[in-house]
Amino acid sequence: MNRSKSIRWSFIGYGILGTAVLVGLTLLMSLIARKSGDQVCIALRVMIEGKETFIDQHDISKLINEKYGRVVGQAIKDVPVNQIEESLKDLPYVSNAEIHADMDGVIQVAVQQREVVLRVINKNGREFYIDREGKKIPVTLKYVPHVLVANGNISENYGEPLDDVQSKLVNDLVKIVDHIRGDELWENQIVQLYVNAENDIEIVPRVGNEELIIGTADSLAYKLDRLKVYYRDILPKVGNNAYARVNVKYGDQIICERKGNWFMDSLQMKINMKN
């Protein structure tokens, strides 16, 4: 009997303790919410992510303060966080932005920059970048990223920031850049992409004066393999200045043009691919 009463009092004690903890947590959360509502921004901290440096912390802080007033000194609840996020996402060099305020009153701004992969100079001389998502990015004098340049007979124009690429040609140029990424030979050897009058894409090599014609990005891996055969098996035998043009656009052939006339020598004939 005494044991039964002891158990009942234990349950009652635990119940009272649980209620007290719940009330305490409720009061604490209420205090935190009230403090958060009254909290004043004491600092604006901007973090820029990504390897590019199109924009910096100063650019972001300046934009926020000019468009939304000086946020330091404002009540946190009065700072239009969502609007600021959307404004930052609208910047052509920004892929994402997130903002939050911590309990100390510091507004944290995290900005992810776009990564460009190609610089295009069209046939009218208009320049723009293409990013990894296929968006057009304006050129700026503040920062020049180390990416391949494509020029020549390119009709693709630049309208508005973040427009999508329209032509197959420019999409092919981007495919080439993506394909050679991480390939030690091509990253060292390819310095530029050029589109000739026949709309064929040419590779401009670092070493040698040959025009390396690949045509389009169709069967790209196979075409680049043919060029590797040229560098490995033909070039050592004939030297750097033997050919004016090396054409692999037809895939199963390596057509070499000697300077001054078309010529397919015995080396090329042996490398017509049958396997």
| Contact yes or no for 106/43 (Cβ under 8 A) | yes
**Predicted local distance difference test score (pLDDT) of residue 15:** 58
Burial 24-42 (b: 16+ CB within 10 A, else e): eeeeeeeeeeeeeeebebe
- Confidence (pLDDT) at 36: 52
Gap between the Cα atoms of 149 and 92, Å rounded: 20
- CA 97, chain centre distance (Å): 15
Q: Is 190 exposed, middle or buried (0-12, 13-18, 19+ CB in 10 A)?
A: buried
Q: What is the CA radius of gyration of the chain?
A: 31
**Each residue's pLDDT expressed in tens, for the chain with a length of 275 residues:** 555 555 555 655 555 665 655 655 544 544 454 455 578 999 999 999 988 889 999 999 999 999 999 999 999 999 999 999 999 999 999 999 999 999 889 999 999 999 999 999 999 999 999 999 999 999 998 899 999 999 999 999 999 999 999 999 999 999 999 999 989 999 999 999 999 999 999 999 998 889 999 999 999 999 999 999 999 998 888 887 788 999 999 867 889 888 765 555 434 444 444 43
Is domain 43-113 annotated with CATH 3.90.180.10?
A: no
Residue 155 CB partners (closer than 8 Å, separation 6+): 122, 123, 167, 169
The predicted-structure confidence for 111-131, as pLDDT tens digits, reads as follows 999 999 999 999 999 999 999
Burial (CB < 10 A; 0-12, 13-18, 19+), residue 163, is middle
* Sequential DSSP letters for the chain: -HHHHHHHHHHHHHHHHHHHHHHHHHHHHHHHHHHHHHPBP-EEEEEEESS--SS-HHHHHHHHHHHH---TTSBGGGS-HHHHHHHHHTSTTEEEEEEEE-TTSEEEEEEEEP-EEEEEE-TTS-EEEEETTSBEEE--SS-----EEEEES------STTPBP--HHHHHHHHHHHHHTT-HHHHHHEEEEEE-TTS-EEEEESS---EEEEESSTTHHHHHHHHHHIIIIIHHHH-TTSEEEEE-TTSS--EEEETTEE---HHHHHHS---
**Confidence (pTM):** 0.79
Are 241 and 256 spatial neighbours (Cβ–Cβ below 8 Å)? no
For the chain, which residues make up each domain, given as ranges? 1-37, 43-113, 116-271
Residue 210's nearest CA partner among 172, 273, 255, 252 is 255
Nearest to 150 by CA among 133, 171, 166: 171
Look at residue 257 in the predicted model and tell me its pLDDT.
87
On the question of a common fold for 43-113 and 116-271, the answer reads no
At 199 the pLDDT is 96
CB-count exposure of residue 137 (10 Å: 0-12, 13-18, 19+): buried
CATH fold of 116-271: Rossmann fold (3.40.50)
